[in-house]
Amino acid sequence: MDSTKLLYDGKAKQIYATDKENEIIMHYKDDATAGNGAKHDQFAGKGILNHTISGIIFDMLAEAGVKTHLIKKLNDRDDLVRKAEIFPLEVIVRNITTGSFCKRTGCREGLVLETPIFEISYKNDEYGDPLINEYHALAMGLCTLEEYAEIKEETLKINEMLKEFFLRLNLKLVDFKIEFGKTENGEIVLADEISPDSCRLWDVDTNQKYDKDVFRQDIGDLIETYKAVLARMENK
Ligand code: C5P
């Protein structure tokens, strides 16, 4: 790939320009980070696994009517996607308590929530992506009220679809993070990726972790774990 066209070099992905103004390439790297970059490693083939897993999920969501940035898969690590201005928001849904929610609230781990919790964080590495609410987002001009409402509604729909999808793989969708962007024609689209990097997935029977927590907590082999998620998807 022509490195002169590199537009953005992120923790786990890169963005490249194309000849078309409104289309860019999203490239999956083998890097894994945790704790806002405090922990960093590389795992050969991780980018390919996440790209494949995310591709299957984005196709499933698109078929169900979700607008996404994905145009087409170019190879095993690259997607052609619609250029979209990404809202500086990490949009998180929690179905079962764990992670930063338990650290913040003292709530016990593994509590199945009566209703999903919808959270937003302000994407800002320097300040550790602080948790904010609707009022902050509007007052800080991160999105409009209408955009916020659309993002929230779409996210809760996506949660239901993903929960059902993973349950068929005998996995519980504990929580996940997604991102949205706005295209040149003002359409709000699901962007970034949905993979074991950005979701927590627990086996229904054993509660074994099938996500990046194996890296965050040093409790398993990341590549074998992600391969096992993909195998469940391919065998379903
Ligand atoms: O760490 P926390 O409990 O807030 O994470 C909630 C969910 O969001 C997890 O599925 C985690 O993988 C995801 N997440 C992410 N990127 C971040 C922060 C959280 O994908 N920067």
**181-193 confidence digits (pLDDT tens):** 999 999 999 999 9
Q: Are 55 and 47 in contact, with CB atoms under 8 Å apart? A: no
Q: Is residue 229 part of a domain?
A: no
Residue 192: give its domain's CATH number.
3.30.470.20
Identify the pLDDT of residue 37. Answer: 86
For residue 111, is pLDDT > 90?
Answer: yes
**109, 212: one domain:** yes
Identify the pLDDT of residue 136. Answer: 98
For residue 92, is pLDDT > 80?
Answer: yes
Q: Is the CB of 226 under 6 A from ligand 1?
A: no
Ligand 1 closest atom vs CA 174: 10
Q: Is residue 45 part of a domain?
A: yes
**88, 204: one domain:** yes
Alpha helices in 170-221 (DSSP H): 213-216
For residue 72, is pLDDT > 90?
Answer: yes
Q: Is residue 175 part of a domain?
A: yes
- In tens, the pLDDT along 131-171 reads 999 999 999 999 999 999 999 999 999 999 999 999 999 99
Residue 25: give its domain's CATH number.
3.30.200.20
Transcribe 216-229 into DSSP letters: HTT-S-HHHHHHHH
Residue range 38-64: mean pLDDT, rounded: 98
**100, 66: one domain:** no
- C-alpha 107 to ligand 1 mean position (Å): 17
**9, 116: one domain:** no
For residue 176, is pLDDT > 80?
Answer: yes
Residue that has been written with the tokens 């980070």 in this structure: 33
- C-alpha 214 to ligand 1 mean position (Å): 13
Q: Is residue 194 part of a domain?
A: yes
Q: Are 16 and 22 in contact, with CB atoms under 8 Å apart? A: no
Q: Is the CB of 192 under 6 A from ligand 1?
A: no
Q: How many structural domains does the chain have? A: 2
Identify the pLDDT of residue 4. Answer: 66
Which residue is closest in CA terms to ligand 1's atom 9? 176
Give 183's strand partners: 84
Which residue is closest in CA terms to ligand 1's atom 19? 177
For residue 36, is pLDDT > 70?
Answer: yes
Q: What are phi and psi of 209, to 5 degrees?
A: -85, 130
**99, 209: one domain:** yes
- The rounded percent of the chain whose pLDDT value lies above 70 is 98
Choose one of 11, 91, 92, 179 to mutate for the ligand 1 pocket test, by most ligand atoms within 8 angstroms of C-beta. Answer: 92
Which residue is closest in CA terms to ligand 1's atom 12? 198
Q: Average pLDDT over the chain, rounded to whole?
A: 97
Give 13's strand partners: 28
Taken in order 182, 183, 187, 188, the sign of the CA dihedral is negative
Q: Is residue 231 part of a domain?
A: no
Confidence label for 229 from pLDDT (cuts 50, 70 and 90): very high
Q: State the Rg of the chain over Cα.
A: 17
Q: Is the CB of 215 under 6 A from ligand 1?
A: no
Give 35's strand partners: none
**68, 129: one domain:** no
- In tens, the pLDDT along 11-21 reads 999 999 999 99
Domain of residue 116, residue span: 84-220
**19, 36: one domain:** yes
Structure tokens at 58: 């984005």
